[in-house]
Amino acid sequence: MIKAHSPRSFQTGEVAATDYGPVDFHGVPPDRLPPPGLCRVWLEGVPPDRQPPPMKCRDAHAAQRRSGGRVLFMPASDL
C-alpha cells in the first residue's frame, strides 16, 4: 500500500510511507538482510551466499514472480 496525501505526491510520486505487508525474516541470517529501503528475493533451499543480491523493491517483486521465493523488505529509517 502506498499513501499519498498531497497534490504534489500525486504529481511527483513522492510518498511518506510504503507498506509491503508483514515481515518474515525466518531462516534468514541477519547479515543477509537487505539494507534499509531495499528488498531481496530469498529462495528457500538456496545457501545464503548464493541468494540474489539486494535490489530496488520493484525489481525484487519482478524477480520473485519469475523465480519464486519470498521478498524481504527492510524499511528505511529516513522517513
Quick: pLDDT tens for 12-55. Answer: 666 566 665 666 788 999 999 999 889 999 999 999 999 999 99
Residue 60 lies in a domain: yes
Residue 4 lies in a domain: no
3-state secondary structure of 70: strand
State the pLDDT at residue 26.
Answer: 87
Residue 1 lies in a domain: no
Domain count, the chain: 1
Q: How many helices (H) and strands (E) does the chain have?
A: 2, 4
State the pLDDT at residue 76.
Answer: 72
State the pLDDT at residue 31.
Answer: 94
Q: Using the 8-state DSSP alphabet, how is residue 56 labeled?
A: -
